[in-house]
């Protein structure tokens, strides 16, 4: 099988003048190499395509692939993660991971929370601040947690993201609205332990392959699994597999959200406990990072004794199960 690889190479965007935080979600060369090597070990031929603009050019030139292994995050617009799968759907080319509907929904954390809450998954109470005049309408008890509505990799999150007063809320929302040019998600702050659940598969066949606790070290930036903490995880974060009692509760919430949203092939669901130890859905990542060394899903697999090649093999098996022609 010939597999095309779609991805956003971080250095390309840095060379174009974008900043470190703007490009935080994009991939390093060793990510592409790791995925490509795993696919070739599994007997596939690979062709590197690159970002969505490269894909457009190559499709227009008549190139086709048996499948595309897609990890493109996109750069512009609320539907940026949906751009590559939408194009591939138009050309009837199979691809890994979720389709444009789910990737567009999942990027909007507020809409995602509304959907998962509708089928009974617990998630913190929240409000969406789309403009400065919305701030005074937030009617939630402090402390609160604020973050950009449609970012990942901890972008826009730091020690000040936990706010304890209307004044702090106004300052943080104002800064985020200006910096990211998108709404701000404001939600009840959960003081409990934080976990991420790795999932492989689709629908009833989806399986939680690991539950990993995210523990901030004393020297880490406080209050959140922030951009700084994620970028410097070896210094600031301790990862550990969850004990079975906690893992069971995390798996139940994560799989309910994953299956309810109809996410495909593999990814992560982030959860956190409230003050009573109840596990709450925080967000879903249906296009999870796949750097073999420092992305959360491969780290979790490593702790479980699952080789990176096996992770890619299981993702591919799930995606290939949808090929009908």
What are 168-215's pLDDT values in tens digits? 999 999 999 999 999 999 999 999 999 999 999 999 999 999 999 999
Fold (topology level) of 2-95:
Rossmann fold (3.40.50)
What is the chain's Cα-based Rg?
19
Residue 92, burial from CB neighbour count under 10 angstroms (0-12, 13-18, 19+):
exposed
Report pTM. Answer: 0.94
Tokens encoding 200: 């492989």
Structure confidence at residue 325 as a pLDDT band (50, 70, 90): low
Structure confidence at residue 20 as a pLDDT band (50, 70, 90): confident
CATH 3.30.200.20 applies to domain 125-188: no
Nearest Cα neighbor of 145 from 65, 247, 224, 249 is: 224
> What's the rounded Cα separation, in Å, for the pair 161 and 145?
5
How wide is the angle at C-alpha 83 spanned by C-alphas 80 and 84, nearest 5°? Answer: 125
The answer on pLDDT for 153 being more than 80 is no
Given this model, what pLDDT does residue 227 score?
A: 79
Per-domain residue ranges of the chain: 2-95, 125-188, 191-320
pLDDT digits (tens, 9 = 90+) for 219-237: 888 888 887 888 888 888 9
Q: What is the mean pLDDT of the chain?
A: 95
CATH 3.40.190.10 applies to domain 191-320: no
pLDDT digits (tens, 9 = 90+) for 269-324: 999 999 999 999 999 999 999 999 989 999 999 999 999 999 999 999 999 999 86
Percent of residues, the chain, with pLDDT higher than 70: 99
> What's the rounded Cα separation, in Å, for the pair 102 and 85?
10
Query: Per residue in 263-294, is it b (16+ CB within 10 Å) or e — as a string?
Result: bbbbbbbbbbbeeeeebbbbbbbbbbbbbbee
Q: What is the 3-state secondary structure (H, E, C) of 7-38?
A: CCEHHHHHHCCCCCCCCCCCECHHHHHHHHHH
pLDDT digits (tens, 9 = 90+) for 237-259: 999 999 999 999 999 999 999 99
């Amino acid at each position: 099988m010939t597999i095309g690889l779609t991805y956003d190479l971080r250095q390309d965007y840095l060379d174009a003048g974008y900043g470190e935080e703007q490009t935080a979600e994009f991939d390093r060369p060793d990510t592409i190499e790791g995925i490509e090597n795993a696919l070739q070990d599994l007997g596939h031929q690979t062709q590197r395509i690159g970002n969505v603009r490269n894909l457009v050019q190559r499709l227009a030139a008549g190139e086709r692939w048996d499948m595309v292994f897609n990890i493109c995050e996109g750069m512009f617009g609320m539907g940026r993660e949906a751009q590559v799968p939408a194009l591939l759907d138009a050309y009837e080319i199979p691809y890994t991971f979720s389709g444009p509907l789910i990737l567009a929904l999942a990027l909007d954390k507020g809409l995602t929370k509304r959907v998962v809450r509708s089928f009974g998954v617990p998630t913190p109470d929240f409000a969406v601040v789309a403009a400065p005049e919305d701030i005074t309408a937030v009617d939630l008890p402090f402390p609160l947690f604020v973050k950009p509505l449609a970012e990942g990799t901890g972008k826009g999150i730091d020690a000040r993201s936990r706010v304890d007063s209307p004044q702090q809320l106004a300052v943080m929302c104002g800064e985020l609205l200006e910096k990211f040019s998108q709404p701000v998600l404001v939600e009840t702050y959960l003081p409990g332990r934080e976990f991420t659940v790795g999932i492989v598969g689709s629908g009833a066949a989806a399986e939680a392959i690991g539950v990993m606790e995210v523990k901030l070290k004393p020297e880490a930036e406080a209050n959140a699994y922030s951009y700084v903490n994620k970028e410097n995880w070896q210094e600031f974060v301790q990862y550990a597999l969850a004990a079975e009692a906690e893992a069971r509760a995390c798996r139940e919430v994560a799989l309910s959200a994953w299956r309810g949203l109809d996410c495909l092939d593999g990814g992560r669901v982030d959860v956190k406990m409230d003050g009573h130890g109840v596990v709450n859905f925080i967000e879903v990542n249906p296009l999870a990072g796949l750097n073999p060394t420092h992305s959360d899903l491969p780290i979790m697999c490593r702790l479980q004794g699952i080789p990176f090649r096996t992770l890619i093999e299981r993702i591919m098996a799930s995606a290939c199960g949808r090929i009908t022609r």
